C-alpha cells in the first residue's frame, strides 16, 4: 500500500485530508503540524509520498522543508496550498514538487493529483533512454495501463493469470481481460511477488487463485493452465512456502 505523510498545520484540514486518504485506500504514515515534527517522522519512517502545506507554523515553511526532503530523504511530495501568487509558485518550482494542489480541493482532485504524480515518477524510473516504453507501469500494488491520454488502474491482486502472445501479455481478471505490451519475463521481474509464478514459457499464474494442481496442469477457476516439467518442481516448493 502507498504510505503518505501529511504535513498540515490546520488540524481540521489535516484530519479531513487523512480521512480522504484512508477512504481512497492509502495508508497515512503520519500527520505533522510543522517542519520539525515532519523531520522527526521522516527520520522514523520514509513514506512513499508527502502531502506538504506551504504555509506552516514554525521557523520553516513548506518550501524550506521541501529542500530538506530533496537533499536528505529523496521522497516525492505534492504541495497543498491556497497560494497561487507568482512569487510563491516560482519558489515552489525550484524544489520540483511532483504536483501542486490548490485548496480547497475535492476528494477526486486529491486522488487524481496523487495517482498522476506516482505514475509520472514511476514512468521516469522505468523508462530509460533508447528503450521501448512498455504500456504498463507498476506502482506499489497496482498496474497502470496507458490508454491514449488516460490510465486504467488494475490492482495486482486481481490478476488471476497471464498469457504471453508475442510481445504482448493478456492479463486475465475475474470479469475482463487487459492487454499490455511487455514480455512475460520483464513483467514478472517488475512484479517481484511470491504469489505470481511462471508455469510455462507463455503462462504465469497468481497462486492465490489456484484451486487444483495436477502433474502437467493447474486450474485457476475453470481455466486450465499448462505446467511444463522444468517449472513443476519449483512450483511444488513455492506452494509449500506459501
Q: What pLDDT score was predicted for residue 238?
A: 81
Contacts of 158 (CB under 8 A, 6+ apart): 173, 174
* Long-range contacts, stretch 63-70, CB < 8 angstroms, 24+ apart: 63/91, 63/92, 63/95, 64/35, 65/7, 65/35, 65/38, 65/39, 66/92, 66/95, 66/97, 67/95, 68/35, 68/39, 69/42, 70/95, 70/96
User: What is the pLDDT at residue 2?
Assistant: 83
Sorted by where each begins, the domain ranges of the chain are 3-124, 136-241
Mean pLDDT within 212-218: 91
Mean pLDDT of the chain: 88
In order, the DSSP letters of 139-190 are ETTEEEEEETTEEEEEEGGG--EEEEETTEEEEE-SS-EEEEE--HHHHHHH
Which cell numbers hold the place of 31?
Answer: 500527520
The residue behind cell 497515512 is: 28
14 sits in which H/E element: helix 11-24
CATH for 136-241, among 3.30.470.30, 2.40.50.1020, 3.10.560.10, 2.30.110.10? 2.40.50.1020
> What integer pLDDT is reported at residue 126 of this predicted model?
56
- All three cell numbers of 45, joined, read 519512517
Residue 193, Cβ neighbours under 10 Å: how many? 15
Q: Which H or E run contains 20?
A: helix 11-24
Q: Is residue 19 reached through a cis peptide bond, with omega within 30 degrees of 0 on the bond before it?
A: no
The model's pTM is: 0.62
pLDDT at 132: 43
92-137 per-position pLDDT tens digit: 999 999 999 999 999 999 999 998 888 777 766 655 443 444 556 7
Q: What are the E-state strand segments in 173-242? A: 177-181, 196-200, 203-206, 210-214, 217-220, 223-226
Whether residue 18 is predicted with pLDDT greater than 50 in this model: the reply is yes
Set of cell numbers at residue 6? 501529511
C-alpha cell at 168: 504482448
Cα end-to-end span (Å), the chain = 20
Predicted local confidence at residue 242, as pLDDT: 54
Please state the rounded mean pLDDT for residues 188-212.
Answer: 92
pLDDT tens sequence across 63-90: 999 999 999 998 999 999 999 999 999 9
Q: Which CATH superfamily is domain 3-124 in?
A: Response regulator (3.40.50.2300)
pLDDT of residue 81: 94
d(CA 210, CA 97): 43
The whole-number pLDDT of residue 76 equals: 93
What is the reported pLDDT for 136? 65
Examine the pLDDT at 29 and tell me if it is beyond 80: yes
Amino acid at each position: 500500500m502507498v504510505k503518505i505523510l501529511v504535513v498540515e498545520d490546520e488540524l481540521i484540514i489535516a484530519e479531513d485530508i487523512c480521512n480522504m486518504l484512508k477512504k481512497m485506500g492509502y495508508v497515512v504514515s503520519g500527520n505533522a503540524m510543522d517542519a520539525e515534527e515532519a523531520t522527526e517522522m521522516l527520520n522514523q519512517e520514509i513514506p512513499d509520498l508527502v502531502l506538504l502545506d506551504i504555509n506552516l507554523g514554525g521557523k520553516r515553511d513548506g518550501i524550506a522543508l521541501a529542500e530538506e526532503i530533496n537533499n536528505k530523504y529523496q521522497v516525492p511530495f505534492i504541495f497543498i496550498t491556497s497560494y497561487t501568487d507568482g512569487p510563491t509558485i516560482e519558489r515552489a518550482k525550484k524544489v520540483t514538487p511532483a504536483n501542486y494542489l490548490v485548496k480547497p480541493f475535492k476528494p477526486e482532485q486529491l486522488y487524481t493529483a496523487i495517482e498522476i504524480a506516482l505514475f509520472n515518477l514511476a514512468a521516469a524510473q522505468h523508462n530509460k533512454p533508447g528503450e521501448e516504453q512498455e504500456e504498463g507501469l507498476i506502482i506499489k500494488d497496482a498496474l497502470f495501463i496507458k490508454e491514449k491520454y488516460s490510465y486504467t488502474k488494475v490492482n495486482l491482486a486481481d490478476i488471476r493469470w497471464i498469457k504471453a502472445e508475442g510481445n504482448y501479455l493478456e492479463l486475465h481478471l475475474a470479469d475482463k481481460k487487459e492487454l499490455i505490451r511487455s514480455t512475460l519475463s520483464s513483467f514478472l521481474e517488475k512484479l517481484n511477488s511470491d504469489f505470481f509464478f511462471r508455469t510455462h514459457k507463455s503462462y504465469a499464474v497468481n497462486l492465490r487463485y489456484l484451486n487444483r494442481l495436477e502433474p502437467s496442469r493447474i486450474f485457476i477457476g475453470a481455466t486450465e493452465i499448462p505446467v511444463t516439467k522444468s517449472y513443476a518442481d519449483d512450483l511444488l516448493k513455492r506452494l509449500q512456502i506459501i
